[in-house]
């Protein structure tokens, strides 16, 4: 597996950055994952994934303007890079391919 | 709106925030902390400050991961390379100054291991009976009586107490009773042993207390009469590998069989209930009666959560009036109001089970109690040994700081900051302490058996019994490391490069005041310790050698002489025919053992007096060596001696008799039968010398022969005599076990607690003085070394040897004098406080004060003279030569 390999949680974060588009920063992503997938996520895990994805070149980032809501601190907004999009597409494609290769037989659970 | 939010951010707890800032990469700090702040403010609004704070702390910890950490390489003071360098230079320095390192580490090892040992002991004492799940709710009922104005608390109460409490008060959930048995002869097959440590216990015993039953049914193991539960060790002893449950053992008689119904865990060392065997209390008839006065039992109750023991004990006055009062009236023959009016009363007290060991003041406890004062003394001496070592370490580090001056100078020139140097020296001192702690841990593991022997009891905890020990040791290491390293590191880090690198001698930092203070403190502690140890030993020696009014040496006592039954007289005659036996007599009890109380009054006066009572056979006076001051002792030539009583002088004083001989007395224990005083013996101590002499009454009872005492002529061949006595015993007792002790050894056991304290004090004070001495050796060796050039110059200029020695010792002598002046009053107060406990105490000896200073002076003198004489005798050429 090359540099494009990403883990399941990283994939979720990557997708969520796309979903949130213009407002993709750690707090929003954390809340959105909790909301949409129903799993409890700590902001630290999101941070970690974001920085790793950026390191891998799948995300780019910029700092926002200072926000009064954050005690005058700026936040880091993330966006998907073309390489990131390729990673998502590759993964989706692979999954679909594999899904189609599953024979119908495998889903027939008649017990004798 | 904005203000509100701002104030929300300000609520963030400071310490975790500081921690976050400390570990977080600078470039990530703004965005990450901003995120945390957002969450914090959200939670503050929804969940309140406490939960928001908690979540914030949790998040700070969660975020503390490598991706967020500062890059170590880029930080000047936590650089791994630099820590490596600190480590190396610390090791090199330790290896280079071997004697310095050895003294520091040896001292710390002794100090820390002593401290650990004493902590283990103290933890053991403080943890008594806390292992029961319901220990918060378990209380022991004691009987607090005032008899004729004399308060007296007994750990036992009447047999029906438990049942009545359970029935009368809803807050009493359960009750159970215990009785400690005297020795019983237990047999299984061909084995027969006399067992001392047997408890009779109610069915609920295993339910109330956390003593786990390994085999058998806890619900009914102690239900049926004649059921017995053995500890594992005793099951092994009698049944080997066989399953004992369902088997029988014999008790006393070969024909009395008890059924083994279970195997129980042994009680932990920190339990005040100890047993080898448990027998069902239903076996004992008296335990099932409704009689309140007479035999009594240890009663424990479990209360409902949150119920107040004080309120309950108040309510228990009802029990007294309803049940006990009628019996008292019956025995005393007076209505209860009259009995109470003459200065008598009974109340009940509930003692929490965890307080029994250290705080109970009751008589008749199951096991010897602990003493809170001794715990303070031990804690103090543990700290003293530890601090002696720490002081050594500080002193030596400061003394040696001059040696490190060049290193400091070079480091500073290269660009080290002051903080980095402080870190370096703190790290170094912590390393040395760590080494000491590790060695101390080994010492503790190795010497634990010796320590248990020293304190005379098993401890519930060892250094390896809990994982909690490791963080505690680590914390202690860091604490001692920082404490002892702080001042030396501040001193060293503040050297100015230009001064220390200039050619010529750097004299080192003049921190004389600190060094002098620490040395003086060591002197003070040493002097106080020596005086205290001497005083404790003097008191113990006094108690053991005091003339007690009877002669306790050369008396052999055989236990359970009742087994002889009708063979008592033939056995006595056989003994008396032995050449080395001079007197034989039997009695119900002997000095040092428990005496029963009996009440007496004059027929014309309702006032009753409680005396310690013994029932003896003829010849008891000669056998014990008591001195008769008036009248006569029991004699075979008088017929009516069964109604005669002999008093001691204190008892006579209590009655205020002019001439006691022939005076009539009556005692409720003999149903008011009249007694006549026939003799008076000189006062003698039957209890510990903590108390003054109590009034004693002696009556004649040929059936009371629990103990048979034999006075042996002082002859060199005790074993032969002992063999002859044993042969006679086996012949007359029908091969019952021969159990004996010597009266003087038994007497020493009264002072076991003092003897143990003395021994512990001796061992640890020796250690602390040893630690202080090696510290002094190191210190003086070093100061004379620094001054060797000065000494050389002085010699060239014509100074005499004596003058040089005087010059080098002057400071120490002044310090010792000041220390003496401070130490004496402290020692006086300390020993006075300790001696308060004794009714018969030694006077404080002036000589101990002189001796203590002489001892310290001698040690100091020895150390100094060795180094100073060496330094003064040295050829000045050697010390002044320029390298």
Q: Please name the member of A26, A52, A63 whose beta carbon is closest to the beta carbon of B35.
A: A26
Q: Is residue A112 part of a domain?
A: no
A19 vs B: CB within 8 A:
no
CA distance A36 to chain B (A): 18
Q: What is the mean pLDDT of residues B623-639?
A: 85
> Percent of chain B at pLDDT above 90?
20
Q: What is the mean pLDDT of residues B233-240?
A: 90
Report chain A residues whose CB lies below 8 A from the CB of B4.
none
Q: Answer yes or no: do B2 and A63 touch at CB < 8 A.
A: no
A71 vs B: CB within 8 A:
yes
B interface mutation test: which of A23, A47, A50, A63 has the most B CBs within 10 A?
Answer: A47
Structure confidence at residue A18 (pLDDT): 92
Alpha carbon of residue B78 to chain centroid: 46
Which among B164, B165, B155, B169 has a CA at the least distance from the CA of B289? B164
CA distance B7 to chain A (A): 9
Output B657 or A68, whichever has higher pLDDT: B657
Q: Please name the member of A43, A48, A73 whose beta carbon is closest to the beta carbon of B59.
A: A43
pLDDT tens-place string over residues B356-383: 999 988 888 888 888 888 888 899 999 9
Structure confidence at residue B672 (pLDDT): 61
Q: Please name the member of A44, A68, A76 whose beta carbon is closest to the beta carbon of B65.
A: A44
| pLDDT over threshold 70, residue B76 | no
CB B616 within 8 A of CB B587: yes
Q: Is residue A82 part of a domain?
A: yes
CATH code: domain of residue A72:
1.10.10.10
Q: Which residue of B has its CA nearest to A27?
A: B35
The Cβ of residue B535 has, within 10 Å, a number of other Cβ atoms equal to: 24
Q: Is residue A78 part of a domain?
A: yes
Structure confidence at residue B874 (pLDDT): 75
- How far apart (Å, rounded) are the C-alpha atoms in residues B746 and B592? 7
CA distance B22 to chain A (A): 17
Q: Left (φ > 0), alpha (ψ -120 to 50) or beta: where does B226 sit?
A: left
| pLDDT over threshold 50, residue A1 | no
pLDDT band at B332 (very low <50, low <70, confident <90, very high): confident
Residue A46 domain boundaries: 8-101
Sign of torsion over alpha carbons B135, B136, B138, B141? positive
A75 vs B: CB within 8 A:
yes
SS3 state of residue B219: coil
pLDDT band at B821 (very low <50, low <70, confident <90, very high): very high
A63 vs B: CB within 8 A:
yes
pLDDT tens-place string over residues B503-516: 655 555 556 788 88
User: What are the residue ranges spanned by the domains of chain B?
Assistant: 2-70, 150-307, 372-543+752-880, 555-749
Residues B587, B592, B593, B595: what is their CA dihedral angle, to the nearest 10 degrees? 80
B interface mutation test: which of A69, A71, A77 has the most B CBs within 10 A?
Answer: A71
Give the number of beta-carbon pairs within 8 Å between A and B. 58
Q: Which residue of A has its CA nearest to B4?
A: A69
A76 vs B: CB within 8 A:
yes
Q: Which residue has the tokens 């090696």?
A: B774
Structure confidence at residue B479 (pLDDT): 93
pLDDT tens-place string over residues B165-200: 989 999 999 999 999 887 888 988 888 888 888 999
CA angle B694, B698, B700 (to 5 degrees): 170
Structure confidence at residue B883 (pLDDT): 55
* Total domains present in chain A: 1
Q: Answer yes or no: do B5 and A74 touch at CB < 8 A.
A: no
| pLDDT over threshold 50, residue B4 | no
């Amino acid at each position: 597996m090359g540099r494009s390999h990403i883990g399941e949680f990283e994939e979720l974060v990557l997708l969520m950055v796309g979903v949130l588009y213009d407002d993709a920063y750690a707090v929003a992503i954390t809340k959105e994952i909790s909301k949409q997938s129903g799993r409890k996520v700590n902001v630290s895990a999101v941070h970690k994934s974001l920085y790793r994805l950026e390191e891998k070149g799948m995300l780019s980032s910029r700092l926002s303007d200072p926000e009064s809501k954050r005690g005058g601190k700026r936040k880091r907004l993330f966006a998907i890079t073309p390489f990131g999009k390729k990673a998502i597409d590759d993964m989706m494609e692979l999954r679909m391919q594999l899904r189609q290769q599953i024979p119908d037989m495998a889903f027939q659970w008649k017990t004798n | 709106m904005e203000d509100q939010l701002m104030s929300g951010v300000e609520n963030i707890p400071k310490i975790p925030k500081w921690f976050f800032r400390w570990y977080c990469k600078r470039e990530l700090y703004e965005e990450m902390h901003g995120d945390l702040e957002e969450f914090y403010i959200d939670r503050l609004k929804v969940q309140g400050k406490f939960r928001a704070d908690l979540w914030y702390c949790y998040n700070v910890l969660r975020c503390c991961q490598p991706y967020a950490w500062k890059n170590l390489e880029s930080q000047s003071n936590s650089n791994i390379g630099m820590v490596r360098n600190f480590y190396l230079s610390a090791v090199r320095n330790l290896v280079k100054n071997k004697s310095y390192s050895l003294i520091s580490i040896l001292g710390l090892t002794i100090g820390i291991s002593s401290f650990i040992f004493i902590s283990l002991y103290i933890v053991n004492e403080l943890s008594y009976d806390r292992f029961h799940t319901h220990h918060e709710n378990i209380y022991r009922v004691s009987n607090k009586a005032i008899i004729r104005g004399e308060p007296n608390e007994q750990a036992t109460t009447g047999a029906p107490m438990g049942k009545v409490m359970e029935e009368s008060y809803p807050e009493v959930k359960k009750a159970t009773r215990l009785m400690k048995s005297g020795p019983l002869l237990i047999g299984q097959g061909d084995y027969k042993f006399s067992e001392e440590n047997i408890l009779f216990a109610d069915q609920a015993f295993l339910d109330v207390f956390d003593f786990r039953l390994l085999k058998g049914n806890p619900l009914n193991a102690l239900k049926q009469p004649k059921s017995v539960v053995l500890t594992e060790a005793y099951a092994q002893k009698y049944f080997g590998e066989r399953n004992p449950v369902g088997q029988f053992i014999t008790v006393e008689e070969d024909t009395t069989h008890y059924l083994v119904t279970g195997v129980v865990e042994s009680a932990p060392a920190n339990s005040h209930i100890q047993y080898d065997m448990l027998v069902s209390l239903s076996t004992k008839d008296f335990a099932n009666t409704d009689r309140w006065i007479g035999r009594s039992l240890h009663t424990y109750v479990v209360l409902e959560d949150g119920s107040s023991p004080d309120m309950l004990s108040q309510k228990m006055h009802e029990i007294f009036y309803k049940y006990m009062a009628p019996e008292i009236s019956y025995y005393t023959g007076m209505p209860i109001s009259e009995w109470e009016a003459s200065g008598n009363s009974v109340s009940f007290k509930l003692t929490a089970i965890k307080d029994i060991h250290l705080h109970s003041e009751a008589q008749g406890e199951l096991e010897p109690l602990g003493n809170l004062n001794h715990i303070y003394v031990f804690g103090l001496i543990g700290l003293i040994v530890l601090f002696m070592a720490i002081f050594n370490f500080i002193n030596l580090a400061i003394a040696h700081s001059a040696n490190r001056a060049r290193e400091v100078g070079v480091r500073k020139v290269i660009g080290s900051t002051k903080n980095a140097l402080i870190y370096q020296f703190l790290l170094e001192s912590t390393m040395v302490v760590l080494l000491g702690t590790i060695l101390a841990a080994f010492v503790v593991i190795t010497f634990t058996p010796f320590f248990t022997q020293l304190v005379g009891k098993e401890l519930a905890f060892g250094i390896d019994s809990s994982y909690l020990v490791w963080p505690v040791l680590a914390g202690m290491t860091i604490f001692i490391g920082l404490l002892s390293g702080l001042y030396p590191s501040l001193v060293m880090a503040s050297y100015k490069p230009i001064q220390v690198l200039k050619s010529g001698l750097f004299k080192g930092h003049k921190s004389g005041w600190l060094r002098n203070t620490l040395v003086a403190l060591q002197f003070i502690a040493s002097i106080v310790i020596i005086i205290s140890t001497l005083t404790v030993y003097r008191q113990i020696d006094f108690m053991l050698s005091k003339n007690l009014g009877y002669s306790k040496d050369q008396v052999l006592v055989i236990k359970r002489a009742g087994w002889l039954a009708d063979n008592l007289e033939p056995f006595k005659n056989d003994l008396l025919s032995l050449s080395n036996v001079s007197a034989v007599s039997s009695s119900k009890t002997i000095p040092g053992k428990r005496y029963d109380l009996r009440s007496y009054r004059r027929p014309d006066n309702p006032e009753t007096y409680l005396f310690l009572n013994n029932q003896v056979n003829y010849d008891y006076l000669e056998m014990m060596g008591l001195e008769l001051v008036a009248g006569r002792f029991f004699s075979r030539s008088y017929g009516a001696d069964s109604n005669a009583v002999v008093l001691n002088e204190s008892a006579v004083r209590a009655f205020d008799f002019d001439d006691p001989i022939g005076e009539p007395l009556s005692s409720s224990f003999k149903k008011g039968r009249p007694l006549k005083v026939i003799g008076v013996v000189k006062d003698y101590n039957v209890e510990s010398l903590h108390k003054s002499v109590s009034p004693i009454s002696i009556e004649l009872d040929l059936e009371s022969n629990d103990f048979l005492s034999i006075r042996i002529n002082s002859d060199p061949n005790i074993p032969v005599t002992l063999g002859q006595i044993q042969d006679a015993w086996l012949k007359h007792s029908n091969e019952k076990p021969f159990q004996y002790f010597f009266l003087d050894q038994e007497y020493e056991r009264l002072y076991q607690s003092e003897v143990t304290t003395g021994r512990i004090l001796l061992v640890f004070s020796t250690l602390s003085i040893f630690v202080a001495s090696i510290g002094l050796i190191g210190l003086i060796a070093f100061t004379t070394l620094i001054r060797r050039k000065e000494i050389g110059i002085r010699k060239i200029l014509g100074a005499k040897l004596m003058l040089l020695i005087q010059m080098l010792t002057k400071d120490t002598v002044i310090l010792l004098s000041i220390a003496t002046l401070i130490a004496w009053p402290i020692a006086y107060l300390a020993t006075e406080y300790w001696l308060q406990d004794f009714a018969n105490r030694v006077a404080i000896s002036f000589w101990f004060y002189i001796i203590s200073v002489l001892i310290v002076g001698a040690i100091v003198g020895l150390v100094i003279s060795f180094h100073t004489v060496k330094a003064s005798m040295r050829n000045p050429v050697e010390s002044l030569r320029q390298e």
